[in-house]
Amino acid sequence: MSASEPTRVGVLTVSDRASRGEYEDRGGPAVADFLQRRFAPGFARHDRLVPDDPDAISAALVELCDTVGCSLVITTGGTGPSPRDLTPEATRVVLERELPGFGERMRSISVDRVPTAILSRQIAGIRGRSLIVNLPGSPKAIEDCLEAVIPAIPHCLELLGAPPLPLSDGSTPLRHE
């Protein structure tokens, strides 16, 4: 990828109903809106929508990371305990290394206010130079969860050698040297 190309960010909605058109996707737009607000302008967003099918989820993640070249891919939906909620499993098979702190932090932030947040099974991790983060499907949960982890994302991409994705407020959080 040449230095002049923009940083690419993937947003993958996982939903049987939305992919059949029975239901308007609310998760994908909530993620997109959050990213546009909290990251500085200049990145290119690539949106995808798949059913709760593990092979379709894994294939979309591989396409966004390996073919499109996204530095960051956010999924929304399919992280609960329902029988069709298989996004974490479909994500795990394409990850090279997991980052357990993302799921821990998102659940820990949510649980004091929403006791059922412990049912959220989302994970995160690394594939090549891409960071993949699962989020729940509810717009309110998306807001809480992304806000809990977003300060660490620019530094993670830097460590992966990915193109830069600075926060819109220009802040760089404290880190251990």
Amino acid at 148: A
**How many residues of this chain bind a second copy (CB under 8 A)?**
49
- Please report whether residue 161 would count as binding a second copy according to CB under 8 A: yes
List phi, psi (to 5°) of 126.
-120, 135
Question: Which of 32, 53, 114, 166 lies at the binding interface for a second copy (CB under 8 A)?
Answer: 114
Site for a second copy in 45-104 (CB under 8 A): 80-83, 85-86, 88-89, 97-104
Contact between 115 and a second copy by CB under 8 A: the answer reads yes
CA-based nearest residue to 154, from 125, 131, 134? 131
User: Cα angle at 63 between 62 and 69, to 5 degrees?
Assistant: 100
**Buried b or exposed e, range 92-102, using 16+ CB within 10 angstroms:** eebbeeebeeb
Strand 8-14 versus strand 97-98 pairing type = unpaired
Please give the Cα distance from 36 to 111 (Å, whole number).
26
Rounded least distance, CB 12 to a second copy, Å: 19
Q: Give yes or no for a contact between 79 and 85, defined as CB atoms under 8 angstroms apart.
A: yes
Task: Identify the residue among 36, 159, 164, 168 touching a second copy (CB under 8 A).
Answer: 159
CB 147 to a second copy: min, Å: 11
Asked if residue 107 binds a second copy (CB under 8 A), the reply is yes
Query: Least separation, in Å, of the C-beta of 31 and a second copy?
Result: 14
Binding site for a second copy (CB under 8 A): 80-83, 85-86, 88-89, 97-105, 107-108, 110-111, 113-121, 126, 131, 136, 138, 140-141, 149, 151-152, 155-156, 159-161, 173-177
